[in-house]
Amino acid sequence: MSRKPRPVGTSRREILAAGAGALALIVARPARATPESMADAIKAFVGEAEVREGRVTLELPALVENGNSVPLTVKVDSPMTAQDHVKRIAVFNERNPQPNVALFYLNPRAGRALVSTRIRLGDSQNIVAIAQLSDGTFWSDKAELIVTLPACVES
């Protein structure tokens, strides 16, 4: 009767320890790309040139169940002749650990500017594809998608 019951809740010491553990987890997470770092990566690719919307079609599923393997297709409206062709296509992301996805090099022997691959997505985000044409102009397309099970969350 006279015995003082032990507090039911968690002790101050335990809370502090748990807090420190949670903080360590947050710190251990690698830095993420941001819309700003994507903008920097795009600038490194295009330089001072103007990027116009159009001519590029970026095909991605709108809703992705598994971020570990997402089909991506880029098409560019180009005759692919020696005078007028696509030289490079770059793909960027906003929220993976780094903003670059891939850089494709094409030439008139492709016949068609059409490339497919599979990518990883760490989160729901915008993906941007930019094509550099032989006349030096840059064209882009953007796709927004939702990822229900992102890549890289679990080991």
Min. distance of Cβ 96 from other proteins in angstroms?
A: 5
Q: Which residues neighbour 89 within 8 Å (Cβ) at sequence distance 6 or greater?
A: 56, 74, 76, 103, 104, 106, 113, 115, 129, 130, 131, 132
Binding mask 78-117 for other proteins (x = CB under 8 A): ---------------x--xxx-xxxxxxxx-xxxx-xxxx
Q: Side chain identity at 42, as an amino acid letter? A: I
Binding mask 45-74 for other proteins (x = CB under 8 A): -----------------------xxx----
Contact call for residue 43 and other proteins (CB under 8 A)? no
Min. distance of Cβ 2 from other proteins in angstroms?
A: 47
Burial class of residue 99, CB neighbours in 10 A (0-12, 13-18, 19+): buried
Q: Quote the distance between the C-alpha of residue 13 and its chain's center.
A: 41
Can you give the length of the chain in residues? Answer: 155
Sign, Cα dihedral of 126, 132, 138, 139: negative
* Options 120, 133, 134, 137; binder of other proteins; rule CB under 8 A: 120
Min. distance of Cβ 7 from other proteins in angstroms?
A: 32
Which of 17, 153 has the CB closer to other proteins? 153
The residues that touch other proteins, with contacts defined as CB under 8 A, are: 28, 30, 68-70, 93, 96-98, 100-107, 109-112, 114-121, 152, 155
